[in-house]
Amino acid sequence: MSDVHDVPDDEVLPHYDFKGGVRGKYADRYPQSHGAKLVAVDSEIYAFFGNSDAVNSALRALMMSIIEEREAKAEAEKVEKAREAA
């Protein structure tokens, strides 16, 4: 008997039969509002946040912080170029 671990990850075992499968059968269960995308997070991250709204809120806060840093850096570079030109 072959061990499952002996099978490469990119091969389907011969006893699996997908002939009756339907692509997208449960797709309507996936939230389509707001262009949602699924992202896998580690279990300890999910345990900390608990739901997608909390994760999204944290990511938005991080995103705003990064945007502010980039804008400040761009402004500083603009000021430096103006000083060099003078």
Task: Please check the confidence at residue 36 and state whether its pLDDT lies above 70.
Answer: yes
**Spatial contact of 55 and 43, defined as CB atoms under 8 Å apart:** no
Task: Please check the confidence at residue 48 and state whether its pLDDT lies above 90.
Answer: yes
Query: Residue 25 gets which letter from DSSP?
Result: T
User: pLDDT exceeding 90 applies to what percent of the chain?
Assistant: 44
Nearby residues of 45 by Cβ (< 8 Å), 6 or more positions away: 55
Task: Give the C-alpha separation, 49 to 63, whole Å.
Answer: 17
Nearby residues of 58 by Cβ (< 8 Å), 6 or more positions away: 49
pTM for the model stands at 0.53
Average pLDDT in the 7-32 region? 77
Task: Please check the confidence at residue 17 and state whether its pLDDT lies above 60.
Answer: yes
